[in-house]
A and B are shown apart, each in its own frame.
Chain A
Amino acid sequence: MRAFVLFVWVMLFSATGYTLFHITFQVQELEDELSQLNRQIVKEQEAVHVLEAEWSYLNRPQRIEQLSETLLPMLGRVQPAQVMRLEDLPMRRDETEDGEPPPAVGALDGVGRAEALPASLRSSEGETSR
Chain B
Amino acid sequence: MIGPFKNRRRPTPAHPPETRERAGAGDFRPERQGAFEGERKTAFDAAPPRTDGVFRQAIETGRTRLLITGAVMALAFAVVGGRLVEVSALADPRETRSPQAVRSAQVDTERADIVDRNGDLLATSLQTVALSANPRRLIDPVEAAQKIAGVLPELDANRLAARLAKDAGFVWIHRNLTPAQQYAVNRLGLPGVEFHRRETRVYPQGPLLSHVLGYTDVDNNGLSGVEKSFDERLRAADAPLQLSIDLRMQHALQQELQAAIDEFQAIGGAGVILDVKTGELMALVSLPDFDPNHPTATPAEARFNRTTLGVYELGSTFKIFNTAMALEAGTVDLFGGYDASEPIRVSRFQINDFHPENRWLSVPEIFIHSSNIGSAKMALEVGPAGQKAFMRKLGFLERLSFELNETGAPQYPETWRPINTMTISFGHGLAVTPLHLANGVATMLNGGVRIEPTLVKRVGAPRGERVIEPWVSDVIRKLLRLNATDGSGGKADVPGYLVGGKTGTAEKVGATGGYKRKALISSFVAGFPMTDPRFVVYAVLDEPKGNESTFGYATGGWVAAPVVGRVIERIAPMAGIRPVDPDAPDIRQALAIQPPKTEQKQLASFTATMAAAIANE
Contact of B204 among A24, A34, A41, A56 (CB under 8 A): A56
1/0 contact trace for B250-294 toward A, CB 8 Å?
011001000000000000000000000000000000000000000
Q: Name which of A58-66, A67-75, A89-97, A111-119 contacts chain B.
A: A58-66
Q: Name the interface residues of A6-55: CB closer than 8 Å to any CB of B.
A: 20-21, 24-25, 31, 34-35, 37-38, 41-42, 45-46, 48-50, 52-55
The distance from the CB of B138 to the nearest CB of chain A, in whole angstroms, is 32
- Decide yes or no: A83 and B205 within 8 Å by CB, A45-B107, A46-B107, A53-B126 being known contacts: no
Check B124–A53 contact: CB distance below 8 A.
yes
Which residues of A are found within 8 Å of B105, using beta-carbon distances? 45
Check A31–B89 contact: CB distance below 8 A.
no
Q: Name which of B65-73, B227-235, B377-385, B565-573 contacts chain A.
A: B565-573
Q: In the docked arrangement, what's the CA distance between A56 and B209, Å?
A: 14
Closest to A49 in B: B107
The distance from the CB of A12 to the nearest CB of chain B, in whole angstroms, is 16
Check B208–A60 contact: CB distance below 8 A.
yes
Check A61–B124 contact: CB distance below 8 A.
no
Q: Name the interface residues of B61-111: CB closer than 8 Å to any CB of A.
A: 85, 88-89, 96-99, 101-102, 105-107, 109
Check B570–A77 contact: CB distance below 8 A.
yes
Check B569–A77 contact: CB distance below 8 A.
yes
Contacts between the two chains (Cβ within 8 Å), count = 89
Q: Is A3 in the interface zone, CB < 8 Å from B? A: no
The distance from the CB of A37 to the nearest CB of chain B, in whole angstroms, is 7
Check B121–A34 contact: CB distance below 8 A.
no
The distance from the CB of A68 to the nearest CB of chain B, in whole angstroms, is 13
Q: In the docked arrangement, what's the CA distance between A53 and B252, Å?
A: 22
Check A56–B98 contact: CB distance below 8 A.
no
Which residues of A are found within 8 Å of B494, using beta-carbon distances? 80
Check A21–B89 contact: CB distance below 8 A.
yes
The distance from the CB of A96 to the nearest CB of chain B, in whole angstroms, is 29
The distance from the CB of A102 to the nearest CB of chain B, in whole angstroms, is 28
Check B98–A34 contact: CB distance below 8 A.
yes
Contact of B251 among A34, A50, A61 (CB under 8 A): A61
- Decide yes or no: A78 and B102 within 8 Å by CB, A31-B96, A52-B121 being known contacts: no
Q: Is B247 in the interface zone, CB < 8 Å from A? A: yes
Which residues of B are found within 8 Å of A79, using beta-carbon distances? 569
Q: In the docked arrangement, what's the CA distance between A115 and B506, Å?
A: 54
Which residues of B are found within 8 Å of A85, using beta-carbon distances? 578
Which residues of A are found within 8 Å of B120, using beta-carbon distances? 56, 59
Q: Is B248 in the interface zone, CB < 8 Å from A? A: yes
Check B569–A61 contact: CB distance below 8 A.
no
Which residues of A are found within 8 Å of B299, using beta-carbon distances? none
Which residues of B are found within 8 Å of A56, using beta-carbon distances? 120-122, 124, 204-205
1/0 contact trace for B461-488 toward A, CB 8 Å?
0000000000000000000000000000
Q: Is A1 in the interface zone, CB < 8 Å from B? A: no
Which residues of A are found within 8 Å of B367, using beta-carbon distances? none
Which residues of B are found within 8 Å of A34, using beta-carbon distances? 98-99, 101
Q: Is A5 in the interface zone, CB < 8 Å from B? A: no
Contact of B97 among A25, A35, A45, A53 (CB under 8 A): A35
Nearest 6 A/B pairs, CB to CB: A61-B251, A80-B496, A56-B121, A57-B204, A80-B579, A56-B204
Given A53-B202, A80-B569; 7 other pairs, CB 8 A cutoff: A34-B101, A42-B102, A45-B105, A52-B124, A60-B206, A77-B570, A79-B569
Residues of A within 8 A of B (CB): 20-21, 24-25, 31, 34-35, 37-38, 41-42, 45-46, 48-50, 52-57, 59-62, 65, 77-81, 83, 85
